[in-house]
A and B are shown apart, each in its own frame.
Chain A
Amino acid sequence: MKAAGLIIVLLTGGLLLYATQDFPPWGAPDSPASTHVSPRYLQKATEETAVPNIVTAVLADYRGFDTMFETTVIFCAGIGCFVLLRIFRQKPEDRYYRHIATEITLHIKGGRLPNKSREFERIDTLWTPYDLVIKTVCRILAPFIQLFALYVIAHGHHSPGGGFQGGVILGASIILIAISHNMRTAIARISEKVDNLLMAVGVFIYAGIGAVCVMLGAAFLDYGNLSVILFADEIMARSHGILGVEIGVGITVMAVMISIYNNLASAGKQDEGL
């Protein structure tokens, strides 16, 4: 079986390489890829969409429909992880609490103490020592990371970036909090319910903007027609439409990152984890 697999892989690779001999030379200016569709993007994207970054214009406008489904794929991944990993029925477990004033740790069977208490603080069963430096640095860094993420999303029209990258950075900032403190601290910032709602809200914004275009009588995702409600001319409306969908993408990507991390790290219990 292994030998057969090897032979198939070699054959496939050989076929792939053999077929490349007919390819136009790499980066050739007269190759079909650079003479057929792309010239129009290069020449007209900026004047048609008011977006200097042509990659953004192609991804979010000319082929915005694909990008919507790519966001949907990410949403599917989040929902898939939730469906497969999340465990709702839990046996009561042992829990550890630290008395804040005296730093004495209590081991309680069955988890009877309230989660929130002034005197006691819950700590993970796999307790890691309290580290002031890491916690403080991460807490100070997080807002700046988030600010940068917002910049990446908003500046996608001009520089490399956009919803996917910005969303990943946003999600990473929350995951950083979860890693440096503990998962409960991160979940206290963005609860599971809010996170799951955000997952759907982001893609809904994207598809919703497209649907608004249909309601205004244009084709799906034809942002030009948003000029009626955005008080801008058609080209600026396209630019704003692109920003709108990028924000949607950013929200979904962030929420999915957090959801997948929480479910994986806590083995679906969303209780305590790395």
Chain B
Amino acid sequence: MNDHYPALLIISPLLFAFLVSGMAWIRKGLCYPLALVGSGLCTWFSVRLLADVLQKGVVQYRLGGWETPWGIGYHVDTLNGMVLAVVSVLAFINLVATRRSVSAEFPEKEGAFYTLYLLFIVGLVGMVVTGDLFNLYVLLEVASLTSYALIALGGPRAPLASLNYLFMGTIGGCFYLLGVGYLYIMTGSLNMADVASLLPGIYSSTAIWAAFTFCMVGIGIKMAFFPLHGWLPNAYTFAPSSVSSLMAPLMTKVMVYVMIRLMLSVFTIDFTFSVLSLGTAMVWLSILAIVTGALLALAQKNLKRMFCYIIVSEIGYMVGGAWLGNAAGMTGAILHILNDALMTICLFLTAANVHYRISGLELHQLRGLFHRMPLTMACFVAAGLSIIGVPPTCGFFSKWYLITGALQAGQYGFVAALLFSSLVNVILFFRVIEISYYGDMQHPHGHGSPAGPRTEAPATMLAPLLIVSAGLVIIGVYTGTIVTTVIDPIIPATLVR
């Protein structure tokens, strides 16, 4: 069974998705437990796989038993081992955490909802685990289609936001597919490792440059990299809370992973930095992303919308870090995938809990929230500190690597942008904290006493949030171990140390 983890971690949620879909018509009550089992198995297998990879090195898996350039191969090293574990664990936690809001929001379509949820996990996990360019595209489509449907389930404005996302996402997918098509015409192969070995002879060809550009633009749209981020704020704001806390932390981060995978394992560092010399331009674009994201976040009056623009800004961190062209920057970018996924899910789960109790996320509605939901707000503060980058939390360490990398590369603009966005984050979070701590209760009970009744979210929603926010500190403390065991082995030797 040990050899089959790479396949099992994707077929278990897949098979359970179909079981859930069928069960919705037979016994509705079983849908949620089945979804839980499917997602749980996926988590179990991916954590075991990560342990295997750390112990024995790269794991290969051949689907259908065919040798790789002819069949489809899975290639798991520590980079995707880590991302796999993050995706599956967070998806599982979110499944537990949002059970109540799901059954409150769409009681009749629970079965179909959990089917889509599991298939979304399949799409993300499959994109991360695969070593085949076209297989990645197919799974991107699975993840995208399910996310369009899930987002459109939200309030009255959600379908339009989802349609907009559908247009943008389809264009992104097409660009990626065009890039893959060009690569196939030039190399005759779809396997990532095979393409990487065939490319060096034809690096100078314009078709390869075009393939690279199209892949990057396609992925850029899907990860909401700054000028292409237009779809994200509406889509994630209007999505149901259970969906936005699944998608916001995972979808964009998986796309960042895909970008880094293409840079490292398909086009190789050599091509990306020496032949193309796009590094500086990309770093400047991400500086723009960071600054604009931060400024737009400052302009928002809705909590979830503010988080969305923080994501846009954070994507800039990761893209910029990866394109700095040195080991520290790449380490920071990869570490930030993990950290940002944790911070974002923490923020969005807070939003889900608050929404569950006060059904509104406008900033002025948050008054007195510290008295009503002290634990939830404590987690919010933890996530805020992490995003600002205060030492014991994990956000500090990835920022540290990013700044070190930027200084090494002489990209002082990137350093300035990082510091600027940190300062803006301070303002953003302390504004919310001020409103919800010092602001009066909206409907004070008793005679001017600030303490209203404690209406903390139910335990099933609160416990996962507490676990995630504890994770922020734990990951922060163990950053050193993570960097040496997980990230260092996959940084290519050709990168400047």
Contacts and interface: CB of A to CB of B under 8 A. Distances in A.
Given A80-B148, A193-B25, A200-B22, A34 B159 contact: no
A153 to B, nearest CB: 20
B171 to A, nearest CB: 10
A219 B65 contact: yes
B64 interface: yes
Contact of B15 (A65, A208, A219): A208
B395 interface: no
A22 B207 contact: yes
Interface in B123-174: 126, 134-135, 138-139, 141-142, 145-146, 148-149, 152-153, 159
B284 interface: no
Contact of A211 (B11, B119, B148, B205): B11
Interface residues of A, number: 60
Contact of B153 (A33, A69, A83, A201): A83
22 contacts: A15-B210, A15-B213, A32-B185, A32-B188, A33-B188, A36-B69, A62-B66, A62-B70, A63-B72, A72-B14, A73-B141, A76-B119, A79-B112, A83-B109, A83-B113, A83-B153, A84-B153, A204-B22, A214-B4, A219-B64, A222-B64, A223-B64
B273 interface: no
Interface in A7-62: 15-16, 18-24, 31-38, 40-41, 61-62
A220 B7 contact: yes
A207 interface: yes
B25 A62 contact: no
A36 B108 CA distance: 52
A84 B8 contact: no
A219 B186 contact: no
A203 interface: yes
| Most chain A beta-carbon neighbours within 10 Å: one of B22, B211, B213 | B22
B188 A36 contact: yes
A19 B25 contact: no
A86 interface: yes
B131 to A, nearest CB: 12
Given A23-B207, A75-B119, A76-B119, 7 more contacts: A15-B210, A19-B211, A65-B71, A69-B126, A72-B142, A75-B18, A79-B116
The SS class assigned to the B binding surface is helix
A84 B152 contact: yes
Contacts of A72: 14, 119, 122, 142
A150 to B, nearest CB: 23
Nearest to A45: B70
A219 B112 contact: no
B306 to A, nearest CB: 26
Given A36-B188, A65-B135, A197 B4 contact: no
A64 B145 CA distance: 21
B122 A219 contact: no
Contacts of B22: 196-197, 200-201, 204
A32 B187 contact: yes
A169 interface: no
A207 B15 contact: yes
Q: What 3 A-B pairs come out closest when comparing CB atoms?
A: A36-B188, A19-B210, A32-B188
A73 B187 contact: no
| Most chain B beta-carbon neighbours within 10 Å: one of A15, A16, A37, A222 | A37
A72 B143 CA distance: 11
Contacts of B63: 64-65, 219-222
A35 B109 CA distance: 50
B208 to A, nearest CB: 8
Nearest to B135: A66
A166 interface: no
Interface of B: 4, 7-8, 11, 14-15, 18-19, 21-22, 24-25, 61-66, 69-72, 108-109, 112-113, 115-116, 119, 122, 126, 134-135, 138-139, 141-142, 145-146, 148-149, 152-153, 159, 178, 182, 184-190, 198, 205-211, 213
B185 A33 contact: yes
A72 B116 CA distance: 11
Contacts of A89: 108
B144 to A, nearest CB: 9
B142 A73 contact: yes
Contacts of A84: 149, 152-153, 159
A204 B63 CA distance: 18
Nearest to A84: B152
A40 B194 CA distance: 16
B207 A20 contact: yes
B132 to A, nearest CB: 8
Contacts of A204: 15, 18-19, 22
Contacts of B21: 75, 79, 196, 199-200
Nearest to A81: B149
A231 interface: no
Nearest to A238: B64
Contact of A32 (B122, B153, B198, B206): B198
Given A73-B142, A80-B116, A80-B149, A16 B72 contact: no
Given A19-B207, A207-B15, A66 B64 contact: no
| Most chain B beta-carbon neighbours within 10 Å: one of A16, A66, A196, A211 | A66
A203 B63 CA distance: 17
A77 B310 CA distance: 31
Contacts of B178: 16
Contact of A82 (B112, B134, B159): B112
A76 B145 contact: yes
Given A21-B206, A65-B64, A76-B146, A83 B70 contact: no
A19 B146 CA distance: 33
A220 B152 CA distance: 34
A222 B65 contact: yes
Given A38-B188, A76-B142, A19 B209 contact: yes
Contacts of A18: 206, 210
A200 B108 CA distance: 18
A218 interface: yes
Contacts of B145: 73, 76-77, 80
B4 A22 contact: no
Contact of A224 (B65, B126, B135, B138): B65
Given A65-B64, A80-B145, A220-B11, A41 B209 contact: no
A72 B135 CA distance: 13
A91 to B, nearest CB: 16
A16 B82 CA distance: 36
Interface in A186-228: 193, 196-197, 199-201, 203-204, 207-208, 210-211, 214, 218-224
A271 interface: no
